[in-house]
């Protein structure tokens, strides 16, 4: 864990990871400048942090869309904004709720 640049922190919290990348890790994505409020939630741009890659063929930028669909249901979608891909044609009604009505928090 530590040899890969991760942080090791044993915890008694159920389902919490003991090994994780720190906030200043060169891996992963960071929040871009484009944060947009939509009719049912948020759309944000995520940018790859550095040229390092754990899995290869990383996409940058990546879009993250969050929809507050019902009081108890959150939908998120991560996609490449520059290349269209097949998406399963699944229609899920999105009545939308305001954040103060939801039984969950999003940060």
Of the given ranges (13-17, 68-72, 95-99, 102-106), which has the lowest mean pLDDT?
Answer: 95-99
| 63 strand-pairing partners | 45, 79
Length of the chain: 107
Is pTM beyond 0.85? Reply is no
How does pLDDT run across 30-43, given as a tens digit for each residue? 888 888 998 888 99
**Domain boundaries of the chain, sorted by first residue:** 28-79
For residue 45, the model assigns a pLDDT of 95
What does pLDDT average to over the chain?
A: 86
């Amino acid at each position: 864990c530590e040899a890969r640049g991760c942080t090791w922190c044993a915890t008694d919290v159920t389902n919490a990871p003991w090994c994780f990348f720190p906030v200043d890790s060169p891996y992963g994505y960071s929040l871009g400048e484009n944060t947009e409020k939509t009719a049912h939630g948020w759309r944000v741009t995520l940018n790859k942090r550095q040229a390092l890659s754990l899995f290869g063929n990383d996409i940058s930028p990546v879009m993250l869309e969050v929809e507050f669909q019902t009081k108890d249901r959150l939908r998120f979608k991560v996609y490449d904004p520059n290349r269209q891909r097949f998406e399963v044609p699944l229609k899920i009604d999105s009545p939308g709720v305001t954040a103060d009505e939801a039984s969950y928090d999003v940060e």
